[in-house]
Structure 1
């Protein structure tokens, strides 16, 4: 029972990290598009770069995303399969629709 409680606590922490609207938007965008840089995220979210960076830091710390540096630019990608499954449940209809419309 203790192991189950630990697993539930870890899952709850994962959900807390993605529960913020900006972070949810970031992971949804990465799920839809594969990868993205901070400038693109900032323009899509219409928030300051520092705000995007803070949220990316929390997602990185939780192991949900990874960044790959190419010169001065860092491109982020979604790496946590559990989050991908959650996004699929929450947004599978919108992902399919955006692909049909050519918005990916």
Structure 2
């Protein structure tokens, strides 16, 4: 399963779980270099956290995993922020995503 497949599998969970209206979470994403241009302002201008998360995932994470050059480091940075944000639901979601990325155990 590719990283893009895993993203698509967990897309609904990410959209409903990422705290994209939380200033600390946004700052953590920014420090990891996940915003470029006016992306942070655009994300924060979305009316709901789910809208903001969907925009972020579509325009940052999915874009990095699509096309001829797949850049999985961006997805990894998001997972790291989810773990560092230190809420159990985000940690668990990150763990579940990482398990899928690693594939079946040998």
**Greater strand percent: which structure?**
1
TM-score (norm 1): 0.30
Whichever of the two has the greater Rg, that structure is 1
Point out which structure has higher relative CO (alpha carbons under 8 A, 6+ apart): 2
TM-score (norm 2): 0.29
